[in-house]
Every structure is written in structure tokens, then in C-alpha cells.
């Protein structure tokens, strides 16, 4: 993909959509592209995460670690895996395995933080986006709790 293609792809990802083209250009230039063969492991549950991965082509199966009761999930193009690892230290909760030949864009936490420092307007937009999502999750959890209490 060309730089313009990468920027256009990043613009389609909800977490990145509001950041603006200059900020996305920084991410597109600094991101690392990885090609995975079918069955290749991108990362293991329990490993320290130092960034996120954006699926460009193919798909990944996310198999929960031993501490989770969740079922495996498959994600495809446009999925951002490890979103929280872009801003905070964390451990991978799942193992990511390429279901087929897959291309991912790796965005390191260091790159993401430098982009936010250089583009404070983008940082504010990201904060607003995450705040709205947190409010939505809180409402959903409250709804589930009320149903369980009945």
C-alpha cells in the first residue's frame, strides 16, 4: 500500500477517524507492516503489549488466555487489536493467530504518544471519543446489571 492508501485506511478506523489527516500521516509513516502466514502467532496471551495492530488484509483469531471464560473471536480488515495498549501498559488478554495470510499495521505506543504530543487537537478528539465510548459501556453495563437483578 502507498502512504496515501495507508492514511485512507486509518481514516476508516473509528478510533483514528477524528484525529485528522496530519496526525494520521505521522502514524502511517511510522507504522510497521507485518505479513503473517496462515497459523502464525502475532502475540501470545500474557505477553506485555507495547502497541496496537490494525488488520489490513486477512484475519486474526483471538484466543482468550487461560484466565478468561470468553470464546475465541475472529477479526478482519479494519479491526484494531490492542487499542488500549496504544496508551497504557497492559498484558495481552488473548493470543492472536493468523487465520489466513494476513497483513497488519503495527503502531507502537511510543509512536502513538509522540503523535498525540505533536497534535494536541488530535489528542483532545481522541479523549472525547474514548469518553463517549466509556459512557456507552457504562450505560450498557447498567442495563445488564438491572436485568440480572430481576
Per-residue pLDDT tens over the stretch 108-120: 999 999 999 999 9
Q: Can you give the pLDDT at residue 138?
A: 86
Q: Can you give the pLDDT at residue 46?
A: 92
Distance CA 59, CA 97 (A): 8
- Report the b/e string of 84-121 with b at 16+ CB within 10 A: ebbeeeeebbbbbbbbeebbbbbbbbebbeebbeebee
The dihedral through the CA atoms of 137, 46, 91, 63 has a sign that is negative
Helices marked H in the chain: 3-11, 14-17, 21-30, 109-118, 120-149
Across 15-29, 60-74, 117-131, least confident range: 60-74
Q: Can you give the pLDDT at residue 144?
A: 81
Half-sphere exposure of 66 (CA within 13 A, CB side): 2
* CATH fold for domain 3-149: Jelly Rolls (2.60.120)
What strand order describes the sheet that includes 80-81? 32-36, 102-108, 51-57, 80-81
pLDDT over 70 (residue 105): yes
Q: How does the average pLDDT of the chain come out, rounded?
A: 91
Of the candidates 90, 92, 81, 91, the residue with the CA atom closest to the CA atom of residue 36:
81
3 state DSSP class of 92: coil
Q: Sorting pLDDT into bands at 50, 70 and 90, what band is 68?
A: low
Amino acid at each position: 500500500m502507498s502512504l496515501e492508501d495507508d492514511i485512507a485506511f486509518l481514516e476508516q478506523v473509528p478510533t483514528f477517524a477524528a484525529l485528522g489527516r496530519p496526525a494520521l500521516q505521522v502514524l502511517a509513516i511510522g507504522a510497521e507492516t507485518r505479513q503473517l502466514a496462515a497459523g502464525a502467532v502475532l502475540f501470545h496471551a500474557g505477553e506485555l503489549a507495547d502497541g496496537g495492530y490494525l488488520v489490513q488484509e486477512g484475519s486474526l483469531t483471538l484466543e482468550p488466555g487461560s484466565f478468561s471464560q470468553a470464546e475465541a473471536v475472529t477479526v478482519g480488515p479494519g479491526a484494531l487489536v490492542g487499542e488500549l495498549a496504544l496508551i497504557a501498559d497492559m498484558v495481552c488478554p488473548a493470543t492472536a493467530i493468523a487465520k489466513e495470510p494476513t497483513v497488519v499495521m503495527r503502531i507502537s505506543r511510543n509512536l502513538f504518544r509522540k503523535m498525540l504530543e505533536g497534535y494536541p487537537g488530535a489528542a483532545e478528539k481522541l479523549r472525547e471519543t474514548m469518553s463517549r465510548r466509556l459512557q456507552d459501556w457504562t450505560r450498557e453495563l447498567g442495563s445488564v446489571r438491572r436485568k440480572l437483578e430481576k
